């Protein structure tokens, strides 16, 4: 067998190996999509967490504007809305259906700011720090937020995130084992070719090179197939349930597809390297066992 024919035989894509690796990468990618969707949902929940800043009745306009500028410039604020005393009274009157101001003779409701936080700051520690910053303004009378709700949301989100990360880690270990075994079996079928090349004087690096090229190529093809399947699942799911589009993140999905492709290449390359090295070291008699 000529050297060129040997290289072509070694580097030829193995359909069985490619399909096996892609089917292992596919569920791993699905779990990644689930993690991204869960992150998107948790961010949405956190961004609906807010607080009220109630102002003193005799606050000066410049003090209110100063607080407004602070909120607008703060990196923890997603949105803020100022509600004057009259606006607060009008909204409450709409809720109760009675003119309570005329009944009691004055408006007891204070002016306030309704503030919504960015997801990264919607946690107990950050809110305590934010409270210290805001209550330092002379115009602020009270800082009010639902502490129990914030604690409950963060606690449940952390539990779900931890469970998903553990599951992803376990699935990754299983994927490594399955892909490694698949590639070892593929290399096993060419063990005599490896030994023949070695016996005619080929060096280890010379023998290993075409195997690595073939392994990396198989990993790329497997990663592409897995990504096409993942894209098909996401596309079909969004078509069937349009609301799912709100929990998909295009940038993170592209990153996930890149990770799946890199994993396919990396695992295939590493497994191929060690499998070939094993048969380079064995004696000719051991090839039959």
Neighbour tally for 93: CB within 10 Å: 15
For 149-172, b where at least 16 C-beta lie within 10 A, e where not — what string? ebeebbeebeeeeeebeeeeeebe
Task: Quote the pLDDT of residue 16.
Answer: 80
CA distance 23 to 147: 45
Mean pLDDT to the nearest integer, 29-33: 89
- Which band of pLDDT confidence, cut at 50, 70 and 90, is reported for residue 259? very high
Q: How confident is the model at residue 238 (pLDDT cuts 50, 70, 90)?
A: confident
pLDDT digits (tens, 9 = 90+) for 76-96: 999 888 888 888 777 767 776
Q: Which of 40-44, 127-131, 173-177, 181-185: highest mean pLDDT?
A: 127-131
Average pLDDT of the residues in 141-170: 86
**109 DSSP 8-state letter:** P
For residue 12, pLDDT beyond 60: no
CB 275 within 8 A of CB 215: no
Average pLDDT, the chain: 82
Place of tokens 């409950």: 152
Domain ranges for the chain, please list them: 3-43+153-288, 50-145
Q: Which residue has the higher pLDDT, 201 or 262?
A: 262
Q: What residues contact residue 149 under an 8 Å CB cut-off, 6+ apart?
A: 49
pLDDT band with cut points at 50, 70 and 90 for residue 7: very low
> Does the pLDDT value for residue 101 go beyond 80?
no
Instruction: Give the integer Cα–Cα distance in Å for 129 and 258.
Output: 38
pTM over 0.85: no
Pick the CATH number of 50-145 from 3.30.70.20, 3.80.10.10, 1.10.10.10, 3.30.70.3040: 3.30.70.3040
């Amino acid at each position: 067998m000529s050297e060129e024919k040997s290289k072509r035989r070694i580097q030829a894509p193995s359909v069985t190996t490619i399909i096996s690796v892609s089917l292992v990468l596919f569920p791993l990618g699905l779990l990644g999509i689930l993690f991204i969707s869960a992150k998107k949902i948790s961010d949405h929940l956190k961004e609906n967490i807010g607080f009220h800043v109630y102002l003193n009745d005799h606050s000066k306009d410049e003090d209110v504007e100063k607080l407004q500028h602070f909120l607008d410039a703060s990196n923890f604020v997603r949105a803020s809305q100022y509600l004057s005393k009259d606006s607060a009274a009008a909204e409450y009157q709409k809720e109760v259906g009675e003119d309570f101001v005329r009944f009691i003779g004055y408006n007891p409701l204070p002016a306030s700011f309704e503030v919504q936080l960015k997801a990264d700051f919607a946690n107990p520690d950050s809110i305590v720090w934010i409270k210290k910053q805001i209550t330092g303004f002379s115009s602020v009378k009270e800082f009010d937020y639902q502490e129990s709700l914030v604690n409950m949301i963060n606690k449940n989100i952390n539990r779900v995130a931890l469970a998903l990360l553990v599951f992803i880690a376990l699935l990754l270990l299983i994927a490594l084992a399955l892909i490694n075994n698949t590639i070892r079996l593929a290399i096993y079928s060419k063990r005599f070719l490896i030994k023949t090349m070695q016996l005619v004087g080929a060096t280890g690096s010379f023998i290993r090179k075409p195997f690595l090229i073939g392994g990396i190529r198989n990993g790329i093809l497997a990663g592409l197939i897995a990504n096409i399947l993942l894209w098909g699942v996401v596309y079909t799911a969004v078509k069937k349930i349009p609301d799912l589009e709100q929990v998909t993140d295009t940038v993170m999905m592209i990153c996930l597809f890149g990770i799946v492709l890199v994993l396919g290449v990396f695992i295939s390359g590493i497994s191929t390297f060690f499998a070939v090295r094993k048969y380079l070291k064995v004696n000719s008699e051991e090839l039959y066992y």
